[in-house]
Amino acid sequence: MTRQIEGTAVIVTGGARGIGRATVERLARAGASVAVGDLDPDLAAEFTAGLGPRVMAAHLDVTDPASWRAFLESVAELGPWDVLVNNAGIMPLGSVLKEDDALTRAIFEVNVHGPINGIKAVAPAMVDRGQGHIVNVASAVGRVPVPDAATYSASKFAVVGFSEALRMELAPSGVDVSLILPAVVQTELSDGVPAAKGMKPVTAEDVAEAIESVIREPRPEVWVPNWAQALTKITQAMPRSVQDFVDRATNASQLLAGVDPAARAAYEERVRRNVR
């Protein structure tokens, strides 16, 4: 059954930039009420100002349950919540052997505990009403690991497993759970990352379109681009030697070895600035 976006109340985390911003703008144009949570609420407020009174931005640190409570209080007038889009995430790159311990913990705090905290804060009311939708933005590397992003990949594998278990847990309550798995997206997170062989670059708008689509018609898992899901499942069912051949043909495992450090410098510095 296709659902309407108009009149739906949605929370989008990490909504000031990239995929989050594109999603907020797309859902607002479709008539949804949208609460934008971000560590930089001023940046979020700049672009939401022109989206109408049913779009609000507020500070949110997804790693902190108390911040979730404060955020929900500040945007309560837009609720009750029909959809939670857990989009906030960080993607520092480099060898795990050189990764600072605090950064390792931060990746899991934001990418794994962030969605869990949000679900614990928002989903109980959905269960009480017998309806709702959790949309977790993971990554293709939550299914296909890539060197030089081992901790990031592990965090997205965790989101995939958590989402699949949660979907079974909440289904009897009428709450849907969907996974969005994008390939490399042209946002600040992927600055300096070369495009994969034979793959058209994925934009934030492409992912936002997929999020809108899955809200309208809930599905357990959506890849961006969609054809990557079938290719991945077919490849992973083959012998390891065939998988290695495909990897060499696409150069997937070496994708991050060609990262341009200078192009990523601003993003990497900003991520580390917020590490405690």
Locate 11 and state its tokens: 């929370």
CB count within 10 Å of CB 134 equals 24
Element (H, E) at 204: helix 204-216
Q: Is residue 152 annotated as part of the catalytic site, yes or no?
A: yes
Distance in angstroms (rounded) separating the CA atoms of residues 229 and 167: 19
| The Cα angle at residue 34 between residues 72 and 165, in degrees rounded to 5 | 70
Locate 273 and state its tokens: 């600035």
Catalytic residue chosen out of the listed positions 71, 152, 157, 223: 152
Find the radius of gyration of the CA atoms of the chain.
Answer: 18
Instruction: Name the phi and psi angles at 140, rounded to 5.
Output: -60, -30
- 248 Cβ partners below 8 Å, 6+ apart? none
Locate 187 and state its tokens: 């946002």
Q: What is the DSSP letter of 226?
A: T
Q: 56 - beta bridge partners?
A: 35
110: closest CA among 242, 223, 232, 20? 20
Distance in angstroms (rounded) separating the CA atoms of residues 140 and 153: 9
Catalytic residues: 152
